[in-house]
Each structure stands twice: as C-alpha cells, then as structure tokens.
C-alpha cells in the first residue's frame, strides 16, 4: 500500500502581499475554548474551563497575515502539558513570540474563567460554592512581561440615606403609637420593636459588584493570588453575598448590612485604601457598581492607583 503523500497546498498568507500596507497592533483569535490548570497561590491547582484570546502584533507592513494555526497549536500543547503560573505564562509568551519572530515583536494572551470557592456560612455549619469571574492577562513587549488578574466580586450594599429616612419613619410611628404615654417600660418597647410596626419602613439594599484589576509584581512566580485578592476585597466590604444560609446566617447578614451602610463612593474608597496597602500590586483599576433597587439606573464609582504611566480611569476594561 502506498503511503499517503500530502499534496502541496497554497499558503496565501505567505505568498501574497497585503492588499494595503500597514502595521497592526494585535492580530489573533478570541473565544478559544481551552481546559487549563491554573495555580492559585493559596489553594493550589485549579482545573479551569477557560476561554482564551491569543494575539501577536504585526510589524511588517507588507506581510498579509500571521500564522494563526501556530498560535492555536501552541495553546493546545500547553493545555495538555502545562500548569499556568506567572513563570510559565512568561515562558509561554516568549515561545509564542518566537513562532512569529520574523513579523512580530509583541504578544499577549488573556484567559477568562469562573473560579469556584466553597465559602462557609456566616454562623451555621453549612457552606456552598460561589463562582467568581476571573481574567488573567499577560503581555510581552521586547523582553518585559506584564501580568494582571481581574475578578468580579458580588456583595450587598445598604443605602445610608435610605436607612436614615427609614429611621425617621420608625421614630414617627413610635411617637404616634405612644402619643398618650408619658412613660414606657422596657418590655413594651421590646414588644413594639418586634412587631410589624417595628419595621414600618426599611432601608433599601441592592446586589452590588466590585470589578477589580491588579497588575502584579515579580513576587508571584509560583502562583496567581486569585483567592488572596477575593479575600482582601470581601473582608473590606464585609457584606459578601452568601450561598447556603439558615436563619442565623440571614440574621447575621442583616446585621452586617446594617453596620456597613455604604454609597458606591464609600465602597470604592474602601477598596482603594485596602489595595494601596498591598505591596505586591503594582497598579489597580476599580469599578464599583450598585445595581439600584430604588432607581431605574445604577450608581457607579471608579478609581485607579494613580501611578505614573499606570492604568487610566477609563469607564470599562
């Protein structure tokens, strides 16, 4: 039996010149489905089902196109054999750029996936899984690699203005109900507070989100600080949304909301201040969004670290 001989096939990208000359900042692929093992510096290896974007620039103005199949096959090989750390990401970017060294001098890669953490309840013995959308991005320009991670964290926010207005209504209801009393004993007040009249008005709360992007220094070579970043943000906002809850957990959640009332500006300042204290975050970009229950629109506050040549205060990333 004769061995199969692959016929010679045309390679338009290599043999034809560009229809119009010009360099391009990035060329590549997006929405590449890829299973990849990501190492978290707190919880170890995590099997992520990621969607990947992979690019190189095109610095040769007369070259028609890049070698997209090379980028894809390199990704597939890494998925089978590698664990994603900051060090391995840097190494992979250099390998990817070497595959296009005749037409490119920069490359980048971005992975998006949901990161699941089993979070304990506030008071009871229960726990449940919570997912956090995570993005990891690496950029290689020349011999310099920059790495960033981003995470979207849901939490609850109680409006301070609404709380003050609700207290005023509560005070007026109390005065109306006891208008004919010159003195009221403790037991009577406690019963009134536990009755429906004790919640004649309640402040509004809403599902809220902290979108946080941080640029990492070189100290995280062994793993990504995904869990660390989530923990830092949730601990400073104090009202992370819950998974499994019993009544004692819901009551504690109500207490936390009441004692941590915040406008979006308050939340943004909390996050900015805590990120400024993290020595290994070179830069950060933060977008706080309160999905309003009162208004038909949402409340937003944004901030950056403000370093020279750092992240710009753009509206979306």
- Write down the domain spans for the chain: 21-159+204-304, 161-199
Residues comprising the chain, all counted: 317
Tokens 């830069």 belong to which residue? 283
| Six-digit token string for 162 | 């609404």
- In CATH terms, the fold of domain 21-159+204-304 is Urate Oxidase (3.10.270)
**Which contacts (CB < 8 Å, 24+ apart) does range 148-151 have?**
148/213, 148/214, 148/215, 148/216, 149/213, 149/214, 149/216, 149/224, 149/225, 149/226, 149/229, 150/211, 150/212, 150/213, 150/214, 150/317, 151/115, 151/211, 151/212, 151/226, 151/229, 151/230, 151/233
Are residues 113 and 134 in contact, defined by beta-carbon separation less than 8 angstroms?
yes
Which is more confidently placed, 13 or 307? 307
Mean pLDDT score, 133-161: 96
Here the tokens at position 10 are 């045309």
Q: How far is CA 213 from CA 18, 153, 273, in A?
A: 37, 11, 14
Per-residue pLDDT tens over the stretch 80-124: 999 999 999 999 999 999 999 999 999 999 999 999 999 999 999
Q: How does residue 53 score in pLDDT terms, banded at 50, 70 and 90? A: very high
Give 2's pLDDT tier (boundaries 50, 70, 90).
low
Tokens representing 48 are 């992520």
pLDDT at res. 18: 62
What does the DSSP assignment read for 61-124? TTB----HHHHHHHHHHHHHH-EE-HHHHHHHHHHHHHTTTTT-SEEEEEEEEEEEEEEEPSSS
Count of beta carbons in the 10 Å neighbourhood of residue 33: 9
Residue 9 confidence (pLDDT) above 80: no
Predicted confidence band at 16 (pLDDT cuts at 50, 70, 90)? low
Give me the pLDDT at residue 21, please: 85
Name the least confident of 44-48, 84-88, 190-194, 220-224: 220-224
């Amino acid at each position: 039996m004769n061995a199969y001989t692959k016929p010679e096939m045309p390679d338009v990208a290599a043999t034809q010149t560009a229809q119009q000359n010009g360099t391009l900042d990035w060329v590549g692929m997006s929405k590449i489905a890829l299973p990849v093992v990501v190492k978290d510096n707190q919880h170890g290896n995590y099997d992520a089902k990621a969607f990947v974007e992979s690019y190189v620039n095109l610095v040769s103005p007369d070259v028609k196109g890049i070698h997209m199949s090379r980028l894809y096959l390199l990704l597939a090989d890494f998925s089978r054999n590698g664990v994603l750390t900051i060090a391995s990401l840097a190494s992979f970017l250099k390998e990817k750029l070497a595959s296009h060294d005749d037409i490119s001098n920069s490359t980048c890669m971005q992975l998006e996936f949901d990161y699941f953490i089993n979070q304990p309840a506030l008071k009871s013995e229960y726990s449940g899984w919570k997912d956090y959308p995570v993005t990891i991005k690496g950029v290689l320009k020349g011999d310099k690699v920059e790495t960033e991670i981003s995470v979207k964290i849901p939490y609850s926010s109680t409006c301070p203005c609404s709380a003050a207005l609700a207290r005023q209504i509560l005070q007026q209801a109390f005065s109306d109900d006891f208008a004919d009393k010159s003195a009221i004993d403790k037991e009577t007040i406690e019963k009134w507070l536990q009755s429906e009249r004790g919640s004649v008005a309640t402040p509004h709360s809403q599902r809220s989100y902290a979108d946080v992007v941080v640029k990492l220094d070189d100290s995280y070579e062994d793993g990504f600080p995904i869990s660390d970043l989530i923990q830092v943000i949730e601990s400073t906002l104090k009202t992370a949304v819950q998974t499994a809850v019993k009544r004692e957990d819901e009551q504690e959640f109500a207490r936390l909301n009441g004692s941590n009332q915040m406008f979006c500006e308050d939340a943004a300042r909390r996050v900015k201040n805590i990120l400024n204290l993290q020595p290994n975050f070179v830069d950060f970009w933060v977008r706080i969004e309160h999905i309003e229950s009162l208004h038909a629109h949402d409340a937003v506050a944004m901030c950056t670290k403000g370093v020279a040549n750092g992240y710009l205060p753009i509206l979306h990333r």
